[in-house]
Chains A and B, each alone.
Chain A
């Protein structure tokens, strides 16, 4: 017998609820959701702490620190992403999905998957800084407020994904 555990929520219901959360974020705080910004805060904190002299002399950190008088980790997105971690864990706990594992396609080994994840993450980090936001901050939130940039970034992300899918099919199918 199939148990209801492990099953995912209806995607339209999930999307509707996610839309309401996004709307609440915009209504209450005037800004949408995000993710990569928190990692940026963490990187800047690390550089400020480990190499303060370097941070003072490099343009990006200097600009960031000048425009963000608070501690970089005292940022909205950092707190939000801590929340995502908690929320994701709670959901996994309720639905019985908590488990250490490497998820990979049937034709590759875990090691290959981890290398791919590392490369993918690096690309996402670079791309998100260029586009001033990732799938959440630029594409989803940008689309919700109907900003031109949000739509352009969204189309560029998914367009490229489709264009490259053929070449990476070995890793997923």
Chain B
């Protein structure tokens, strides 16, 4: 699952990709006219809204793409860089940049583009940026408090507004299209001529507008993989009726444990307190609440392991098995039949009984007595080390 860096592609290759992506970025910016400061400034005076069109089209394209990719489980949004929000410095920085934009006529990316085709004002702008950055880094002790104040973490805008990612994407797409239509009207008025046909009378634009809004509308119904999976298991009935859950009996588990079967990966999905009080030897603890967290994916996605979930009974473990499958872990998961309760009752706390009954019952009894002894040894051996979580490598980003 993407992103491909840093696990699938290494650092050196990543830098080559940076160069190629940069070339595409610069080429498109220049083709769009972003190498011209007067064109850029036109945004603020209403004579040329090209910046707004390119900027918002790019933003809605990428945002919609992310919604689509994460819906189909191709991109894990927990691993991509989400810009942190330091409220004060985000606003103050934005205000300073806004002043820089109207005075300088460029922003850093576009100034590089302008400089590339020989705009001397763009080169001077870059020089200014150097000085500005240097001013900040030198004065950092003065700015530090402001720079680090009001740290909100890395929230999503839709979470802050209390709506779903898809709904926000739809509103963003609709808002952008509305802005495209409105700015065409303004542009024609400011320039006192018809630069272009009114947006909606241009039939090609009308069709594109309709398609864009339709795609935006569909996005509402495309939650990302994690949200989707969590919603499915929140519905209890669905889990119980799920035919894909495979179970493993307590005897089979006990046997495989005593044979020290390395294929087994036993996961206790109860709370950490319950786990610490009592557990089955070799089990690791992943409370159901945290199962969807990104740090467990590598552990649970090993094709040479059988993931066996258990809880006290069978409800939480069944949820866990379904959730894990929906999150794209191993396609087949097992649930311990009867759970820890049955396991303890019938094996660990097996009562001495008189040797009577059918042969089969006697066999079972002897077998369980036998494995119990071995399990007690395993339990002693089980080192109380916590599971080593592989910290997911979150990408560094931002400027």
Where the two chains meet, the residues of A that have a C-beta atom closer than 8 Å to any C-beta of B are 8-9, 11-12, 14-37, 39-40, 42-44, 47, 58-61, 70, 74, 76-77, 79-92, 95, 97-105, 113-114, 116-165, 168-169, 171-173
Contact = CB atoms under 8 A, between A and B. Distances in A.
A116 B22 CA distance: 27
A126 B82 CA distance: 22
A132 B93 contact: yes
Contacts of A14: 28, 31-32, 54, 57
Contact of A23 (B61, B105, B159): B61
A105 to B, nearest CB: 7
Contacts of B395: 29-31
B386 interface: no
A151 B156 CA distance: 10
B17 to A, nearest CB: 6
Contact of B399 (A138, A149, A164): A138
Contacts of A33: 21, 25, 109
Contacts of B85: 147-149, 152
A30 B134 contact: no
B103 A116 contact: yes
A128 B110 CA distance: 14
Interface centre among B24, B99, B101, B102 (most CB of A within 10 A): B102
Given A84-B26, A127-B95, A150 B83 contact: yes
B120 A114 contact: yes
Contacts of B394: 30
B360 to A, nearest CB: 57
A80 B122 contact: no
B397 to A, nearest CB: 3
B83 A147 contact: yes
Contact of B103 (A20, A27, A31, A123): A123
20 contacts: A18-B32, A27-B4, A28-B17, A35-B108, A39-B126, A40-B399, A42-B130, A44-B137, A76-B18, A79-B16, A79-B18, A87-B25, A114-B120, A121-B129, A131-B90, A134-B108, A148-B157, A153-B90, A157-B98, A172-B44
The interface residues of chain A, by DSSP majority, are classed as helix
A42 to B, nearest CB: 7
B353 interface: no
B208 interface: yes
Nearest to B42: A172
Given A11-B53, A29-B3, A84 B113 contact: yes
B144 interface: yes
Contacts of A147: 82-85, 154-157
Interface string B103-125: 11111111111111111111011
Contacts of B102: 120, 160-161, 164-165, 168
Given A29-B3, A143-B63, A164-B99, A89 B117 contact: yes
A84 to B, nearest CB: 3
Contacts of A164: 98-99, 102-103
Contacts of A103: 36-38, 119, 121
Contacts of B35: 88, 92, 97
A23 B25 contact: no
Interface centre among B5, B62, B146, B169 (most CB of A within 10 A): B62
Interface string B124-162: 111111111111111011011011000010111111100
